[in-house]
Amino acid sequence: MRGVILDSDSFDRGDLDTAALDTCLDHWARHRSTRPGEVLKRIDGCEVIVTNKVAIDAAVIATAALQLIVVAATGINNVDLAAAARRGVTVCNVRDYASAAVSQHVFSLVLALATRLGDYTQAVRQGRWQQSEVFCLLDYPIRELAGQTLGIIGLGNLGRRVARIAEGFQMQVLVCARPGSQEVPDGRVPLDTLLEKSDVISLHCPLTDATRNLIGSAQLQQMKSDAILINTARGGIVNENDLAAALRQGEIGGAGVDVLTEEPPDASHPLLAPDIPNLLVSPHNAWGSIQSRQRLADEIASLIQSYRSGAPRNCCQPG
């Protein structure tokens, strides 16, 4: 079988052990990145496509040789699953490979915002500590997490890991009922309740019709005035213009964002404006520890081997 990796730079920067991946197919073509107009040429004659974010639409799936698409990520928004099902093409994704890294990043953002770490670091660089009349600077309010409430929207593997870490900080945890559902199971709370009671809100839900723009102007106004919003899930879950406005107007205390609706973003993106206070933006790298990326590469190889042995795993269906 012949395979092609369309955007290897998205997970392998030459620092991984790719022995399992190298040997799971008879022949590989590897491309560091692929533009939309290059896809059809690069997949020609290949039975297996590995893609992270390169779109695989119906025209690509119609290629006669194609048998398997492996998404080098959990999100599968970039693959036309209905077209794949019609053509009998198997689509698999990689799951739960980055929970340790992402949950760590969530609390990196939370702690940096709660302690105003960036502001204090900048104050030292500006010489303000050196000019202080006392031994310390306390120009920005520092908050303890102990006793505060963390609201989690999306209680999959990642959400549960974040909840466990929060309990280690002696935080109370609220879990939101599934967005779009009218039912509120035991142990969960409605979104409105979570917004009103949480000191920190962390998003871990997929981007669906029910979660697109889930957090907009109305929801931000429901939050506490000093609340922190963390989004390491998908950019489209938060209305980015509304978030920028809420931060400028002091409607919430701060936000940490690792994902945007457009990636990489244009320089004019609303959350990249330099005048937005108490905002941390990281470049969709919460997942990117070397350990996570190694697990990802190993699992890609394992998924291909499972397919070739007649027992495909992590199969994704339209719906």
Domain ranges in the chain are: 2-97+290-308, 99-281
Q: What are the CA-CA distances from residue 76 to residues 43, 59, 69, 82, 210 (Å)?
A: 19, 17, 11, 12, 16
Is residue 27 flagged as an active site residue? no
Report pLDDT for 317. 94
Report pLDDT for 319. 76
**Among 234, 251, 293, 299, which one carries the catalytic annotation?**
234
Report pLDDT for 266. 96
Report the b/e string of 57-74 with b at 16+ CB within 10 A.
Answer: eeebbebeebbbbbbbbb
Architecture per CATH, 2-97+290-308: 3-Layer(aba) Sandwich (3.40)
Amino acid sitting at position 2: R
Report pLDDT for 179. 87
Structure tokens at 302: 């394992």
pLDDT, one tens digit per residue, over 123-172 is 999 999 999 999 999 999 999 999 999 999 999 999 999 999 999 999 99
CATH 3.40.50.720 corresponds to the domain 99-281: yes
Report pLDDT for 64. 83
Residue with tokens 């950019």: 235
Report pLDDT for 282. 98
**pTM above threshold 0.85:** yes
Extract the residue ranges of the chain whose pLDDT is less than 70: none
Report pLDDT for 300. 98
**Among 284, 293, 295, 299, which one carries the catalytic annotation?**
284
Is residue 269 flagged as an active site residue? no
pLDDT, one tens digit per residue, over 28-39 is 999 999 999 999
Residue 231 β-bridge partners: 203, 257
Is residue 263 flagged as an active site residue? yes
Q: What is the dihedral of CA 141, 145, 148, 149, to 10 degrees?
A: 120
Q: What are the CA-CA distances from residue 19 to residues 22, 103, 290, 300, 301 (Å)?
A: 5, 28, 16, 12, 9
- Between CA 303 and CA 298 the distance in angstroms is 9
